[in-house]
Amino acid sequence: MYRVRTQQAADWQSAAKELTEARHHLAENAGIMTPYERQAFNEEFTQRRNSYKPQIEAGAVAMLEASFSNFNAAQRGIDQALAREIVRWDPTKLNAEIQLTNALVDQQFAQGVHVEDIAAKMGELLTEAKAAGPEGAHKLRAVCEVVKALPTRGRDPDERLKLNRVAGAAVQELSALRFTPELQAAHDKREEAAEGLKAAHAEANAVNIAIDGRDADPALAVNEIERNMLRLEIHRRTGEVTIHPDYHTALERRGADYVQGQRE
């Protein structure tokens, strides 16, 4: 007859694996066990489970906490990269370039230039500023900022459609200009951390099955694993990740979000 190991597991993950294997063995062999064998197995399993439970719960909670900390650090990295992107612009120089571009656009509209020609002229300015490389960065951003707002100056749907084309190109250029390699690296790191959150939650759920024989149910939160799993909230509509500081805050926040969702 299969027996739960007599040697103590080396760590919490090994302990959880041992309990999982024991549960699988029982599920596969319960039908061929005698009543005495099943009773003996369950008693032995329960004893080992009770012995391991504090160790497993502590390990799983520490794993979740590490994944939360890692994601929060990655989010701070994005915030820091954004702050550095903002301060790299000289506001005086940028405002001067924006005023020059606005003056050119105002002049073209005042002279009755056709919107097709205005759009073409703005497209030329975008190409020229982009070709200037780093030296033309302020001019490129200024042209993009002005051009992306051009459709609002169209006098009818047809004019707005024509201006929309060059405005769309400006929006793309502006995004490429401001999404620096540092920001890209920071976003990649956050994506990696988000995958770490999912992996940690999946493992925490498997651990909960090993301990209690069921999937974790954060709504019940009868143990520390479930309480800490509840701290992670991924918003269904936006995909935004929120990590609450503790179980009680998570419970209150989720309750408030539920009430707000019902009102909407």
Residue 150 within any structural domain of the chain:
yes
Give the pLDDT score at 1.
43
In-domain check, residue 135: yes
Q: Is 202 within a domain?
A: no
In a domain, 244, yes or no: no
As a whole number of angstroms, the distance between CA 242 and CA 68 comes to 10
Rounded to whole angstroms, how far apart are CA atoms 61 and 226? 9
pTM score, two decimals? Answer: 0.81
Reading phi first (left if > 0) and then psi (alpha if -120 to 50, else beta), residue 112 is in left
pLDDT of residue 254: 72
Tally of domains in the chain:
1
Q: Which amino acid is at 236?
A: R
Q: Is residue 122 part of a domain?
A: yes
Contact 204, 212 (CB under 8 A): no
21-46: pLDDT as tens digits: 999 999 999 999 999 999 999 999 99
pLDDT digits (tens, 9 = 90+) for 165-210: 999 999 999 999 999 999 999 999 999 999 999 999 999 999 999 9
CA distance 37 to 35: 5
Whether residue 252 is contained in a domain is answered as: no
Domain of 174, in residue numbers: 89-182
**Does 171 fall in a domain?**
yes
Chain position carrying tokens 């651990």: 207
Q: What is the spatial distance between Cα 200 and Cα 216, in angstroms, rounded to a whole number?
A: 13
State residue 218's pLDDT score: 67
How far is the C-alpha of 237 from the C-alpha of 256, rounded, in Å?
16
Q: Can you give the pLDDT at residue 259?
A: 34
Q: Does residue 73 belong to any structural domain of this protein?
A: no
